[in-house]
Amino acid sequence: MFKNSTLYTPETTLMHIRNDMSICQSDYPIDWYQEDFIPYAQEYLALPDRKLTTISAWMTPYLKKAQDHFGKRLLLLAHYYMGGEIVRLVEQFGGLIGDSYQLALMAAEHPERSIIIESAVHFMAESISILAHENQQVYITNPKSGCTMEMLAKDFMVEPAFLDLNERYGAENILPVCYMNTSGRVKAMTGAQGGAVCTSSNVKKIFQWAQKQNKKILFIPDQHMGENVAYWLGIKNLAYWPGGTAGAQYSLANQDKQTLKQFDDAQLILFSSQCAVHTHYQPEMCEYWHSQGYTTIVHPECRNSVIKIAQHSGSTAFIWDYVVHDRAQTKRYAIGTENHMVENLKQYCKGLGIEVINLAEAPKKENEKGIGCGCATMSRNDPPHLVALVDLLRQGKTMAYNEVKAGDVVNEFTGSRNRLSQQEQQWVIDNAKKSLQMMINITEDRI
């Protein structure tokens, strides 16, 4: 069952940090840090333990000095998938927590905040930067924080789909819809052809708009969310363009008649990259927790076989809202999404008498306990990265490597950044804004 509410106000988690709570991520080697971040990483690694109270006590003086220095100009942002210590400190110092839709709007909605620091993945920071005002600078604590789904849908991988489909059917008959989990370049390609961005919170509404345009819909990515929205809206005819480097090499000219007929008949063409975290969930996990009296809620990036069995599906904001308000009135929830989010929700709900567990903790064969899956790339925004960036900016350092511009491409392994010329950046901004603004207009019923 799909339940969707598009407008959420981010709630403060007011997490109660206990001394026995440990952070949900591993330490990184020193050579993973930027050179000027290493002293902060060394301080962090020298802490006696990884308990939240210890880490928060270390982080607080740095964030307090930055807040005193920048005042209202500073805005800290974090995604729901970040670890509890980041979430708690961001909130404590006046920052905001949100899903990808909420984060994208935060710079635009807070023009008085000129220094915006995001603890999340790169495509989210880039979307914030695209919609930001000219006086605002957007930074990411770790530019290597990519997204596995976005890494398999780079612009050079996606471009052949645009070119081939436009040639075969006419650009006027292809309507691209791209997920927020794409680069600014892909969002710009989408906007240049009259398409829209979507998020997990508004995907159904965006697709209902797209269906009314009476065109073939090209969805970039993800495969599972595309299959799910097709299931919800009764879209029967699908075709698949391979994700990753296979997508860059794929050509309709090399396909057999049967495959071409699938494309000719398709109402929806899916660019087939996926989220490694949400692909982890299986339908039998839902069945187990149902047998134990739990309400199951999963993210729309899960497989369609999971969506069909889970009792509810929605964005991170939807999941948070549904559980903390115990909308099922069961006080027992098994959640199928990123594990940091589930852990943060679990800690918050303890004080409410609501039990939260990760869907993947369903027992495996021979009574082996299952475990939740976290977003490893999101976790690269660890405490030393946030502390180092805010403190170095406070000292007046430019931190150009961490500043995010439209069209930037970062190698998630080496950290090297490819930056477009100003003219090329402007093309990305102008056209990515079109697709983002189309999403906003549809979501907020402006069209």
Domain ranges of the chain: 30-146+377-404, 150-277, 279-367
Q: What would the pLDDT profile of 336-360 be if each residue is shown by its tens digit?
A: 998 878 988 898 899 999 999 999 9
For 150, 177, 242, 254, 375, the CA distances from 18, given in Å and listed in that order, are: 36, 44, 46, 60, 24
CATH superfamily of 30-146+377-404: NadA-like (3.40.50.10800)
Least confident range of 99-103, 114-118, 367-371, 435-439: 367-371
pTM as predicted: 0.87
Helix, strand, coil share of the chain (percent; to 5): 50, 15, 35
Same fold? 30-146+377-404, 279-367: yes
For residue 101, what pLDDT band results from cuts at 50, 70 and 90?
confident
C-beta separation of 249 from 157 below 8 A: no
Tokens standing for residue 213: 């345009």
Q: What would the pLDDT profile of 139-198 be if each residue is shown by its tens digit?
A: 999 888 777 778 889 999 999 999 999 999 999 999 999 999 899 999 999 999 999 999
For residue 261, what pLDDT band results from cuts at 50, 70 and 90?
very high
Per-residue pLDDT at 82 = 60
Please check the confidence at residue 373 and state whether its pLDDT lies above 70: no
Per-residue pLDDT at 19 = 42
For residue 56, what pLDDT band results from cuts at 50, 70 and 90?
confident
Q: What would the pLDDT profile of 1-37 be if each residue is shown by its tens digit?
A: 122 333 323 334 434 444 444 444 578 889 889 999 9
Measure the CA–CA gap between 396 and 316, rounded to whole angstroms: 35
Question: Which CATH fold would you assign to the domain 150-277?
Answer: Rossmann fold (3.40.50)
Spelled out in words, what is the top-level CATH class assigned to the domain 279-367? alpha beta
**What rounded mean pLDDT belongs to the chain?**
88
What b-and-e string marks burial along 214-229, b requiring 16 or more CB atoms within 10 Å of the CB?
A: ebbbbbbbbbbbbbbb
For 202, 217, 270, 303, the CA distances from 208, given in Å and listed in that order, are: 10, 11, 16, 21
Measure the CA–CA gap between 366 and 348, rounded to whole angstroms: 32
Measure the CA–CA gap between 317 and 201, rounded to whole angstroms: 8
